[in-house]
Amino acid sequence: MQTVSRTIRRQCRPTSLQFSRYSHSLDSQQPKATLPNSEPKTTSFGFKTVPEEIKETLVKNVFDSVASKYDLMNDATSFGVHRLWKDSFVSSLRPGRKGPMKCIDVAGGTGDIALRILDYARENYYDRETTVEVVDINAQMLKEGYRRFKQTMYHNTPQISFHEANAQSLGPEKFKDNTYDLYTIAFGIRNCTSIPDVLKEAYRVLKPGGTFACLEFSRVDNPLLNAFVSMLRAPSSQLTWVFRLYDQYSFTVIPLLGTVLAGDRESYQYLVESIRKFPPQPEFAQMIRDAGFSTGKDVDGGAWTNQWGGIACIHTGVKV
């Protein structure tokens, strides 16, 4: 059966939809005591600097707001390209090639990566035994994913389950050490308060030899495009207006689309800003190695594989 064990309740009306919930207690949303004369730890929330203990709540509010229109907005702002990147991401991992796999898809509430994994294994390797546990900190995103899976052949099968949990602290009582063959996270890790903590948890739950795979927006890594962008950024360049036009699109048009299509400007303003704050490819690859993973060399096609010149990027590492 499709596992769902935590009741999601609305103030206006009850619902029978349930998800399991782990490591997402009230403590995670309570301000943490600080020592006298000590400065609270801070982190980025888009371009803002906020105390670490409130970022989780701020991000949760964003995804509560955008959950039902999330893919619609992604389509509008990327002209549907995000779907091609996700297809490329999953096909590069070839789930099912070596037999049934036990997978965990973190920050995967809407279920689109999980569905691609199951479809790929079935269509290419006749595999109906690979399983995916979808994990997200946001109940509204999980609810959207569960709704979508009700329309698939995987609904009410052991192949798919949904769990509400924090990527930074999944909880060993449910997500045990050395359990999974594949850990995926797509367009989610940049929203986490502590990326190193997410990577450490990924390392913990993967089996030795298991694969960590992350799809995320990144930095343009094409020499010609980089040179062009550098030229645009130069104050003396006559083409600076082009870069300003791009900024205007990112910071005006996309939030405006958020207003028109989802009724929420601020959430999409944050999503644009969070992309700019994510570390470049070599820096993130080093963070993956610092967590214990083995990666390829720091080049495109090694530790990472750029999508569309680095607009998005697939990072992989193997637990040793």
- Binding residues for S-adenosyl-L-methionine are 110, 136, 166-167
* Torsion (CA) 141, 170, 290, 310 in degrees, nearest 10: -10
Q: Which amino acids are annotated as binding site, given as ranges?
A: 110, 136, 166-167
The answer to whether the beta carbons of residues 210 and 183 sit under 8 Å apart is yes
The dihedral through the CA atoms of 132, 137, 142, 144 has a sign that is negative
Cα distance between residue 186 and residue 92, in whole Å = 14
Cα distance between residue 299 and residue 133, in whole Å = 31
